[in-house]
Structure 1
Amino acid sequence: MIKYYNRKENKYEIEKVAGEKYLNWSYCSPVGIGLVELLLKKKLFSKLYGYYCDTKISCKKIESFIEDFNIDMSLYQKTPDQYSSFNEFFIRELNPDGRIIPSNDNALISPCDGKISAYENIDLDGLVQIKGFTYSLKELVEDNEIYNLYHGGTCLIFRLCPTDYHRFHFIDSGVCGETTKIKGHYYSVNPIALKNVKKLFCQNKREWSIFHSDNFSDVIYMEVGATCVGSIIQGYTPNVRITKGEEKGYFKFGGSTVILFFKKGVVKMNEEILTQTKLGFETSVTLGEKIGLK
């Protein structure tokens, strides 16, 4: 059971998890853990499932998925019957008015839909994965110089579950550098897995870039893949100016994670989000929602 905080409704809710029984068995039982290590964390498994999700046959999953997880299709450009595969549905695009992007330069917005955890004053060698599990920024980015610039800064982790809108966007206007790609495994990023796999983010496939933001200095923008995420697709053009809210890329099928690192003193996070993180709860957010200030 995963409980999160809905700040719009000012209440806690229970997340409806796709494949929850399978996740519990895979990451909490000896046999399941063995299967994860032998097969499920491997690239081949996610790649093969990705191929299936690209086929016409996979369309039969769409209607039941929408019904089971109460997805509001009025927010999206296509109706369910217009998608040619489950993956096309999974990376569905919003209507132009599907999300509102605040024009205020001082407002830090969420780059995606998902559940956020926020950490201020970060220790570069003790970043929090989940209570009891930590990792280092150096291990995460595999760069000996960049990570030192973020001591005492802010780390934001956005967990996208399979039912979420799976495109990620820029939090500000500015210029984004080249993407660094790091090969890795494909563990689930669900809290069930995070509680059982040490340094999971440092083990999974991931990509990161430096976003030279107009209002929030240089931000490390990272995407982490997960089980059945066949691809992380970067849609932006490196070193070309972009505008706030513009799409950066998208994940193919599966739960996945976006992680942002800010330098010390650059951003002041919403107190409600910080409080919930300290209490051990993620907070639900949507693309464009204000989560902090300059």
Structure 2
Amino acid sequence: MNTSHTPYRVGEWLPQDQETLNDWLRQLAAKTKQADLPLQPSIQAFKEYIEGDASAFMLFTRMFNEQPKRHNTPVHGGDSGPEPEAIVENYQQMLAMCNYVLSMAPEFNETGLVGFPINAIVDRVMATESGYCAFRDPTVNTHFKRILNDWGEFLKSSESVSVLNDSPTGWLSDAAMEKMAGSREAFISTFDCDPTLPHYGFSCWDDFFTRVFKPDQRPVASPDDNNVIANACESAPYKWATNVQLQDTFWIKGQPYSLQHMLNNNADYYPEFAGGTVYQAFLSATQYHRWNSPVDGVIEMIEFVDGSYYAEAPAIGEDPAGPNESQGYITEMATRAIIYIKADNPAIGLMAFMAVGMAEVSTCDVTVKPQQIVKKGDELGMFHFGGSTHCLLFRKGVNLSFNFHGQELNEGQNYLLTSPIHVRSEIAKVVPTQGK
């Protein structure tokens, strides 16, 4: 079977096939070399750290020597062809290409969006032994955070609006509109925008990607029924699990959830969820990127966790589907925001919403405060520069019947080809315990 166009990049943040990604990298490498830009301060600081720290220097040198020589991608009907020489050859080139990215906004591409340009640059070295070590290092992730903050500032600037046009690579093209909403007419009627204004009234890339629905869109499911839980994001189901353990071997294939690590060792909260339920879903690059409360209740506590940005599960190896298959793993490892909500419904009680940053999409912007009263469907916050993955956590004894809107999912299995379910629609319902 020819799998060169297998959609293994969850959420369409990276191209569906390796050759498209390779072509994009070759073009970026050529543009970077031609531009020969001076390093921005955050990139220069990272370079100085790599070259000044013996461990970092070793790991960032070795990972490029360890990157796979070929991908097992069948070409022209069946045989695996040789992988071309590495496109990103060393950490110096990696840094230069990242530096170039900091002054560009993602373009639309029908054959494969590169919404994670830095992820694309380090895609192959992430899956090496040295990459596993380097990309989990706290100091390395501190540097990546500074770099991504710089990119975020560019994406909030007026310069980034250049990709909001109707060219084939523009986000206002017919093809992009079809991808995001089904048609241009549907986009205009669905989202808060003004097609009579330049760039549809969006001031920058970030303004466009955090766009909001018009008031009549995405109604709240059963607003007067507290047994109905609303979908917190416009997201596709990935996995659900019951009887989740406080500690588990989340780095193995299958990646069981490990509550103590997911909830950042917060002893005031993680024991509450022992034996409970976790539901996880992922967001698409072309969809809505804000989070909404799944229940009526009170915001009890908010916690931000600094974690990794480019760490894959070691069990995945050199699988090109690594970012997909690491969805469970990153709930314990990645940058994330945890919002604890005391639901009005006593059958639910304390629950948690967890927004998990992945690669470039790691800015978790919470817009609620502790002790704030929220209604089901109210905004909790948003991802900037796109979307990632999120979890809902429920305590043991909260019996739920999930509603995947016609999609068949079995407990404990990962699903990468599901379709997004509308935010604020029903995602689950509390089922009364027998005898009560």
TM bin (shorter chain) = 0.7 to 0.9
1:119 to 230, 234, 241: 241
Query: Alpha carbons of 1:185 and 1:98: their partners in 2 closer, same or farther (altered >3 Å)?
Result: same
1:171 to 283, 294, 304: 294
1:192 to 322, 325, 330: 322
1:57 to 147, 152, 159: 159
Which amino acid in the other structure matches residue 336 of structure 2? R
Q: Tell whether 2:390 aligns with 1:281.
A: no
Map 1:187-266 → 2, pairs under 5 A: 187=310, 192-195=322-325, 199-215=329-345, 216-229=348-361, 231-266=363-398
In 1, Cα distance between equivalents of 2:364 and 2:141: 20
In 2, Cα distance between equivalents of 1:237 and 1:31: 36
Which amino acid in the other structure matches residue 226 of structure 2? D
Q: Tell whether 2:12 aligns with 1:17.
A: yes
Q: Tell me the matched-pair count.
A: 284
In the TM superposition, residue 165 of structure 1 has moved relative to its aligned partner by 0.4
- Residues 90, 252 of structure 1: 8 Å contact kept: yes
- Residues 300, 371 of structure 2: 8 Å contact kept: yes
Q: Identify which range, 45-54 or 273-282, moves more after superposition.
A: 273-282
- Residues 226, 254 of structure 1: 8 Å contact kept: no
In the TM superposition, residue 172 of structure 1 has moved relative to its aligned partner by 1.2
| Bigger fraction of residues in strand | 1
- Residues 188, 255 of structure 1: 8 Å contact kept: no
- Residues 90, 165 of structure 1: 8 Å contact kept: yes
In 2, Cα distance between equivalents of 1:39 and 1:101: 38
1:138 to 260, 271, 286: 260
Q: Identify which range, 168-177 or 53-62, moves more after superposition.
A: 53-62
In 1, Cα distance between equivalents of 2:124 and 2:250: 24
What 5-or-longer segments of structure 2 have no aligned partner?
Answer: 1-5, 16-20, 22-113, 182-186, 313-319, 431-436
In the TM superposition, residue 166 of structure 1 has moved relative to its aligned partner by 0.6
Q: Tell whether 2:280 aligns with 1:157.
A: yes
In 1, Cα distance between equivalents of 2:383 and 2:235: 13
Q: Which residue of 1 aligns with 2:228?
A: 107
In the TM superposition, residue 121 of structure 1 has moved relative to its aligned partner by 2.3
- Residues 243, 396 of structure 2: 8 Å contact kept: yes
Q: Which residue of 1 aligns with 2:37?
A: none
Which amino acid in the other structure matches residue 280 of structure 1? N
In the TM superposition, residue 167 of structure 1 has moved relative to its aligned partner by 0.6
Which amino acid in the other structure matches residue 285 of structure 1? I
Q: What TM-score comes out, normalization by structure 1 length? A: 0.82
Query: Alpha carbons of 1:49 and 1:28: their partners in 2 closer, same or farther (altered >3 Å)?
Result: closer
In 1, Cα distance between equivalents of 2:144 and 2:272: 33
In the TM superposition, residue 230 of structure 1 has moved relative to its aligned partner by 5.6
Query: Alpha carbons of 1:41 and 1:202: their partners in 2 closer, same or farther (altered >3 Å)?
Result: farther
In the TM superposition, residue 44 of structure 1 has moved relative to its aligned partner by 2.5
Identity across aligned pairs (percent)? 22
Give SS of 1:275's match.
coil
Query: Alpha carbons of 1:114 and 1:196: their partners in 2 closer, same or farther (altered >3 Å)?
Result: closer
Q: Which residue of 2 aligns with 1:29?
A: 124
Q: Which residue of 2 aligns with 1:293?
A: 429
What 5-or-longer segments of structure 1 have no aligned partner?
Answer: 4-13
CA RMSD of aligned residues (A): 3.3
Q: Which residue of 1 aligns with 2:30?
A: none
Q: Identify which range, 168-177 or 40-49, moves more after superposition.
A: 40-49
Map 1:37-116 → 2, pairs under 5 A: 37=135, 42-63=144-165, 64-66=170-172, 67-68=175-176, 70-72=179-181, 73=187, 74-79=189-194, 80-102=199-221, 103=223, 104-116=225-237
Query: Alpha carbons of 1:167 and 1:25: their partners in 2 closer, same or farther (altered >3 Å)?
Result: closer
In the TM superposition, residue 208 of structure 1 has moved relative to its aligned partner by 1.1
In 1, Cα distance between equivalents of 2:212 and 2:311: 24
- Residues 367, 380 of structure 2: 8 Å contact kept: yes
- Residues 50, 230 of structure 1: 8 Å contact kept: no
Q: Identify which range, 146-155 or 32-41, moves more after superposition.
A: 32-41
In the TM superposition, residue 84 of structure 1 has moved relative to its aligned partner by 0.5
- Residues 149, 263 of structure 1: 8 Å contact kept: yes
In 1, Cα distance between equivalents of 2:220 and 2:375: 11
